[in-house]
Amino acid sequence: MSRFTLCGTVIHAPVCGEIEILENVLIVVSDTGVISSALEQGCERYIVAKQAAIDAGSFIELEEGQYLLPGMVDLHVHAPQWPQAGNALHLPLYDWLQKNTFPLEAKYADLDFAKQVYNSLVDVLLANGTTTALYFATIHLEATKLLADICLAKGQRALVGKVAMDNIDECPDYYRDASVQSGLDDTRALIEYIRSMSGNELETVLPVVTPRFIPSCTDEMLTGLGEIVQEYDCHVQTHCSESDWEHAYVLNRHGTRDTDSLDKFKLLTSKTVLAHSCFINEQDMAIIKERKSGVAHCPLSNAYFADAVFPARKALDLELDVGLGTDISAGATPSLLQNCSMAVTASRYLEGGVDSSVKQSDRGVANSRINYKEAFWMATTGGGRALGLNIGLIKKGYAFDAIVIDTSVRDSNLMIWGELDNVEDILQKIIYNSDRKNILSVWVQGRLVKGG
């Protein structure tokens, strides 16, 4: 049985660097929210399928100026940091964590506060077209369960992790797992809770083992988390080689680079997403590729806290599974489309260089630029690949996680000139100039979660 059938122009990116445009394609969405067929005009079943949907009253037709895109996959969100989005961006990473972020995250012992913030964030992300979010919560089991509940209730696909952090030297007394054992117990409890939530039979909400980053965790904690990952075969997320300070800390403590340390603790798997990774080199990229792990590139956040640009061009050329992350609140905007444009901009700074007093030939790193097609691939297909989920494409067998962009909304910054802009130009303009006003409808797993 089908739930509905939608007809319109699809824009998506099956191949990195290429855009596929399917005009007037018929998308049949099954009862379980999976795309059961994508029929091109002229194919045999097209007319029959369209008529059947019209007869059943389940036919949706996009209007002129509207485009169906895969939903955005945000690979790195700190849900508890939402109240400080757009604030406290003046400090270096270490000071920002200690002075602003840990005190804020500690407040999630209060479930009422957690409920208000998490409800607000999930609504805003959905309104911005983020159909999937990979969330860091806090150290608190109950508030983290609440985040999972809210995502399930509002219909956002979400991967949710209780943050593990127990290192007395790096974490304050007021915000730290009480012991290795309690951190591991709570991680296990969250996995079991999410896996048995009623209404989550399609597993749109998934648990994630979440060591904050190596500096926050003792080796005992990292060892225990690696064992849990093996036992439960679940996703992993952490920060990897983000800043000079963090990268040097790991080299100093373990004598190895972040990727090698994580690998030693069995935390580098095909279900691992490494946030940032600005300081990774070719050796790191080789092991990330070998383990089939993914990377969450967070270009806006990196301008503030990494003091370096992730080598996106190299990573894409090596065919790593790279997606994009907002990194709320180190990145201020909840919009992944804005991070698409930022990813292109950052790559141009890396290639062109930034200091005009250095002569041009020495200023930048040659062959570093990426383009809007590659950024869009990262925000959709790349994110899906990094998570190992069938999302990010409008394709048979994939979940119907999709957004409708309306380019004709009044009072928006998006201007299309019919005689000048082809569909690729329109996508480029969507990336650079659209905002949440242009996002007309959002579906996750075939369920309408915004618009009509």
Which residues form the interface with ligand GUN (CB under 6 A)?
Answer: 78, 93, 97, 101, 212-213, 239, 242, 301, 305, 327, 330
Beta-bridged to residue 322, according to DSSP, are 295
Length of the chain: 452
Measured CA to CA, the distance from residue 256 to residue 414 in angstroms comes to: 47
Task: Please identify, using beta-carbon distances, which residue of 34 and 79 lies nearer to ligand GUN.
Answer: 79
Fill in the amino acid letter for 139. Answer: I
Choose the binding region for Fe ion from 41-49, 110-118, 197-205, 320-328 (rule: CB under 5 A).
320-328
Give, in order, the Cα–Cα distances in Å from 420 to each of 73, 126, 424, 434.
30, 31, 11, 18
Measured CA to CA, the distance from residue 343 to residue 303 in angstroms comes to: 11
Task: Please identify, using beta-carbon distances, which residue of 296 and 316 lies nearer to Fe ion.
Answer: 296
Task: Please identify, using beta-carbon distances, which residue of 152 and 163 lies nearer to Fe ion.
Answer: 163
CB of 330 to Fe ion, least distance (A): 6
- CA nearest to 335, candidates 68, 9, 19, 86: 86
Task: Please identify, using beta-carbon distances, which residue of 301 and 335 lies nearer to ligand GUN.
Answer: 301
Tell whether residue 327 is a contact of Fe ion (CB under 5 A).
yes
CB of 98 to Fe ion, least distance (A): 15
Contact 415, 393 (CB under 8 A): no
- CA nearest to 134, candidates 73, 183, 197: 73
In terms of DSSP bridges, do strands 294-297 and 321-324 run parallel, antiparallel, or are they unpaired? parallel
Total of residues contacting Fe ion (CB under 5 A): 1
Residue 291, SS3? coil
Q: Which of ligand GUN, Fe ion, none is residue 212 near (CB under 5 to 8 Å by kind)?
A: ligand GUN
CB of 414 to Fe ion, least distance (A): 29
Task: Please identify, using beta-carbon distances, which residue of 25 and 104 lies nearer to ligand GUN.
Answer: 104
CB of 298 to ligand GUN, least distance (A): 7
Strands annotated E in 261-333: 272-276, 294-297, 321-324
Task: Please identify, using beta-carbon distances, which residue of 61 and 219 lies nearer to ligand GUN.
Answer: 219
CB of 330 to ligand GUN, least distance (A): 4
Choose the binding region for Fe ion from 184-192, 214-222, 319-327, 418-426 (rule: CB under 5 A).
319-327
Task: Please identify, using beta-carbon distances, which residue of 94 and 232 lies nearer to ligand GUN.
Answer: 94
Helix ranges (H only) for 199-272 are: 219-232, 244-254, 258-264
Q: Which of Fe ion, ligand GUN, none is residue 97 near (CB under 5 to 8 Å by kind)?
A: ligand GUN
Contact 311, 277 (CB under 8 A): no
CB of 304 to ligand GUN, least distance (A): 8
Task: Please identify, using beta-carbon distances, which residue of 305 and 443 lies nearer to ligand GUN.
Answer: 305
Contact 291, 319 (CB under 8 A): no
Within residues 368-397, the interface with Fe ion by CB under 5 A covers: none
CB of 208 to ligand GUN, least distance (A): 15
- CA nearest to 29, candidates 48, 10, 2, 11: 2
- Count other C-beta atoms under 10 Å from residue 400's C-beta: 27
Task: Please identify, using beta-carbon distances, which residue of 80 and 226 lies nearer to Fe ion.
Answer: 80
What's the gap between Cα 52 and its chain centre? 36
Measured CA to CA, the distance from residue 73 to residue 87 in angstroms comes to: 24
CB of 276 to ligand GUN, least distance (A): 7
- CA nearest to 132, candidates 194, 212, 208, 70: 70
Choose the binding region for Fe ion from 106-114, 193-201, 324-332, 432-440 (rule: CB under 5 A).
324-332
Measured CA to CA, the distance from residue 248 to residue 253 in angstroms comes to: 9
CB of 401 to ligand GUN, least distance (A): 26
Q: Which of ligand GUN, Fe ion, none is residue 118 near (CB under 5 to 8 Å by kind)?
A: none
Measured CA to CA, the distance from residue 209 to residue 159 in angstroms comes to: 10
Task: Please identify, using beta-carbon distances, which residue of 26 and 225 lies nearer to ligand GUN.
Answer: 225
Q: Which of ligand GUN, Fe ion, none is residue 404 near (CB under 5 to 8 Å by kind)?
A: none
Q: Which of Fe ion, ligand GUN, none is residue 213 near (CB under 5 to 8 Å by kind)?
A: ligand GUN
Residue with tokens 């590659």: 374
Residue nearest to ligand GUN (CB): 330
The residues of the shown chain that bind Fe ion, judged by CB under 5 A, are: 327
